[in-house]
Amino acid sequence: MSEHVALQEFSSIHGAMVEFSSPDDLMIAAHQAYSSGYRRMDAYTPMPIEGLAEAIGYKKNYVALAVLIGALTGATGGFCFLEWISGVAYALNVGGRPLNSWPAFIPITFECTILFSAITSLLCVLLMNGLPKPYHPVFNVPAFARASTDRFFLCIESTDPKFRVEETVDFLRGLGGNEVSVVPA
């Protein structure tokens, strides 16, 4: 009964989170949660775990495509800018050389490619991750302090269509974790 009262204390809930002491337990729980129909969840670990992203339903993002487009834009823009400078804006014929000597443009074109791809990757990572985010609701759970040392967490978010507080907490308890917590928003 006190557990039901504890669930009602929060006016806004971010989700429900379960703590595990081993990465294998987390992987099994992530597969079970995904196969049970939960789609909006996240896992927090002190180290990378191979296959965990796929287990929680991670889909491919478009950072690589955006960086390629940024690199091609930088290369094209740098080359065209040098063509314009050499052939149109400051057309100086020195020693009878052609105005558009493209081999001389390669270093600047390469540098523009690297610059635009780096800026594009930085912006994509920031925007696609929703950064900067100085606050996250999972920090409200006291046990989460060990997420960067020796504990593994699985959090099912309240935005999941299947999320019902009591049902989700019971489901997480059935996964065999150490502790289940409701995450206030």
pLDDT digits (tens, 9 = 90+) for 47-105: 999 999 999 999 888 999 999 999 999 999 999 999 999 889 988 888 888 888 889 89
Residues 141 and 167 in one domain: yes
Compute the distance between CA of residue 1 and CA of residue 23 in angstroms, rounded to an integer. Answer: 32
The mean pLDDT value for 159-179 works out to: 95
The residue with greater pLDDT, 129 or 21, is 21
Query: 100 or 166: whose pLDDT is higher?
Result: 166
For Cα atoms 2, 155, 152, give the angle at the middle one, nearest 5 degrees.
105
Task: Tell me the average pLDDT across 10-19.
Answer: 90
Buried b (16+ CB within 10 A) or exposed e, 113-138: beebbeebbeebeeeeeeeeeeeebb
User: Cβ(25)–Cβ(172) under 8 Å?
Assistant: no
For the chain, give the number of residues. Answer: 185
Contact 101, 79 (CB under 8 A): no
* pTM reported for the whole predicted model: 0.74
Q: How many separate domains does the chain show? A: 2
Whether residue 142 sits in one domain with residue 55 = yes
Provide the percentage of residues in the chain whose pLDDT is more than 70.
95
Show which of 111, 128, 145 is a domain's final residue: 128
Please indicate, yes or no, whether residues 82 and 111 belong to a single structural domain of this protein.
yes
pLDDT of residue 185: 87
Q: How confident is the model at residue 134 (pLDDT cuts 50, 70, 90)?
A: confident
**Is pLDDT of 170 > 90?**
yes
Residue span of the structural domain in which 139 resides: 2-59+134-184
Percent of the chain beyond pLDDT 90? 77
Looking at the fold, whether 67 and 55 belong to one and the same domain comes out as no
What is the C-alpha separation between 68 and 51, in angstroms, rounded? 26
Q: Are residues 78 and 123 in the same domain?
A: yes
Judged against a pLDDT cut of 80, whether residue 4 lies above it is answered with no
Q: Give the pLDDT of residue 96.
A: 82
Indicate if 46 and 87 belong to the same structural domain.
Answer: no
Same domain for 16 and 40, yes or no, is: yes
What pLDDT score does 10 carry?
62
SS3 39: coil
Same domain, 115 and 139: no
| Whether residues 163 and 80 fall in one domain | no
